[in-house]
C-alpha cells in the first residue's frame, strides 16, 4: 500500500494500491481473466459502445 498526499494541500492522505505486474491487472475479485478487456469491463472501467451509438442515433433524428 502506498500513500498519496493530496495536492490540494489537505492534510489527509489517500491510500491506493498500484499494479506490480501485468498479471495483477488481469485479476479481479480473485479471478484471473485471460483478456485485459474483460478484466477492465468487470472493474467497470470500460463500457460498451452501444450507449454512444444510441445517443448518436437519437441525435440524428
What's the domain count of the chain? 1
Mean pLDDT for 27-54 is 85
Output DSSP code: residue 36: H
Q: What percent of the chain has pLDDT over 70?
A: 74
Mean pLDDT for 4-26 is 65
State which residues form the domain around 42: 2-59
Mean pLDDT for 12-23 is 74
Show the cell assigned to 4.
498519496
Higher pLDDT pick, 53 / 14: 53
Amino acid at each position: 500500500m502506498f500513500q498519496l498526499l493530496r495536492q490540494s494541500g489537505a492534510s489527509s492522505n489517500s491510500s491506493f494500491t498500484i499494479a506490480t505486474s501485468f498479471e495483477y491487472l488481469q485479476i479481479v475479485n480473485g479471478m484471473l481473466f485471460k483478456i485485459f478487456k474483460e478484466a477492465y469491463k468487470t472493474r467497470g472501467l470500460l463500457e460498451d459502445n452501444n450507449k454512444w451509438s444510441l445517443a448518436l442515433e437519437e441525435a440524428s433524428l
